[in-house]
Amino acid sequence: MTPEELFSTLQNLIAEQFALDPETITMSSSFTDDLGADSVDLVELVMAMEEEFDLDEVNEDDLAQLKTVGDCVKYLSGRIN
């Protein structure tokens, strides 16, 4: 999957999880500052990512590094490709 495809899929996943318009989500969107996510939201998003992208469990150290949508795209690109 290309980074653009990952972003598009992730954008829709985030929009669904956080009840947002996908067009408002950018690569630089911060989960907490821009999207209003709390720790429970982030855990639910990671579970949805694991299912959507058929990943093994994301460990807590990796999760702590995922601050923006772009961080997630970069992380997923490394895990999938």
pLDDT digits (tens, 9 = 90+) for 63-75: 889 999 999 999 9
Residue-level pLDDT at 60: 84
Q: What SS3 state is found at 26? A: coil
The CA distance from 74 to 2, in Å, is 10
Active site residues: 38
Q: What is the pLDDT of residues 28-61, one digit of tens each?
A: 999 999 999 998 998 899 999 999 999 998 888 8
The CA distance from 36 to 4, in Å, is 24
For residue 2, pLDDT beyond 90: yes
Q: What is the pTM of this model?
A: 0.90
15 close to 25: Cβ distance less than 8 angstroms: yes
69 close to 29: Cβ distance less than 8 angstroms: yes
Binning pLDDT at 50, 70 and 90, where does residue 24 land?
very high
